[in-house]
Amino acid sequence: MNETSWGLLDEAAAAFRGARHPLALTGAGISVESGIPDFRSDDGLWRRFDPAECATLEAFHRSPAKAWHFYRALGEILAGKLPNPAHQALAELERRGRLRAVITQNIDGLHQVAGSRRVLEVHGEHRHLHCLGCGWKRPVSPADYSEEGVPACRHCRRALKPNVVLFGELVRELQEVDREIEACDALLVIGTSAEVYPVAELPFRVGSRGGRVFEFNVAETALTGDADFTFRGKCAALLPAFVQALDE
């Protein structure tokens, strides 16, 4: 089945209720209503910065100062942002024992702020800086974003970078994600264009083993034709409605 319809909410809720290993997979779209634009939108960061120039590992090695220009713009966008009802709905599902984990591509940490405990951050997080030379890590401080220049590693003096995954770096938590996906029989896919690999293939892996895939997005995606249930709209409205339907 693949229809966009609020009429399917009860049917979707019934299918999700019976799941033994339900998971959520989230992307930039879940944080849009918290005021963090996705990168590809008209006001997204890729309109102002060329990812090849500032968000690849190679670019970081070539010019940490240029990369930090981008990180400061990113830090400004993320500062002070709060979770929205979609993040809260997922935290509530976990509290009620109806969600095993959230796999997220986001680096903003809003799932944890909302109260989600099991969050697999496959693209890293922005709360720490780390050293690519010796592996040293420390919490990010407001000064890192307000001051000019490039913060240096206390031990080996190399340039520090935010603990986020750049293009050309390995995705994190893959073994854990693999285990979760192998067990998963219901996957909520929320606010992701399903284009960035290897995360993009996860819904298809669940679907090919007979698991149910539920998509929540404002637009059509590469996944839409294959999802069992597709809900079109803003996830801060859709997710709380879905959680409520589970109670009925």
Q: Which residues does the annotation mark as catalytic? A: 123
* Candidate residues 105, 116, 163, 230; the one interacting with ligand NAD per rule CB under 6 A: 105
Could you say whether residue 102 binds ligand NAD (CB under 6 A)? no
Its sign, for the CA torsion 171, 175, 178, 179, is: negative
The 8-class DSSP code of residue 4 comes to B
Which residues within the stretch 226-245 sit at the binding site for ligand NAD (CB under 6 A)? Answer: 234-235
Name the strands in the sheet holding 101-104, side by side, starting at the edge strand that comes first in the sequence. 119-121, 101-104, 22-26, 186-190, 212-217, 229-232
From residue 8, alpha-carbon distances to 12, 185, 197 in Å are 6, 19, 29
Which residues within the stretch 19-38 sit at the binding site for ligand NAD (CB under 6 A)? Answer: 27-29, 31-33, 36, 38
Segment contacting ligand NAD (CB under 6 A): 12-20, 93-101, 177-185, 211-219? 211-219
Query: CB 202 → ligand NAD: shortest distance, Å?
Result: 12
Which residues within the stretch 158-197 sit at the binding site for ligand NAD (CB under 6 A)? Answer: 191-193, 195-196
Chain mean position to CA 137: 22
**Residue 162 pairs with which residues in a beta bridge?**
129
Interface residue list for ligand NAD (CB under 6 A): 27-29, 31-33, 36, 38-40, 105-108, 123, 191-193, 195-196, 216-219, 221, 234-235
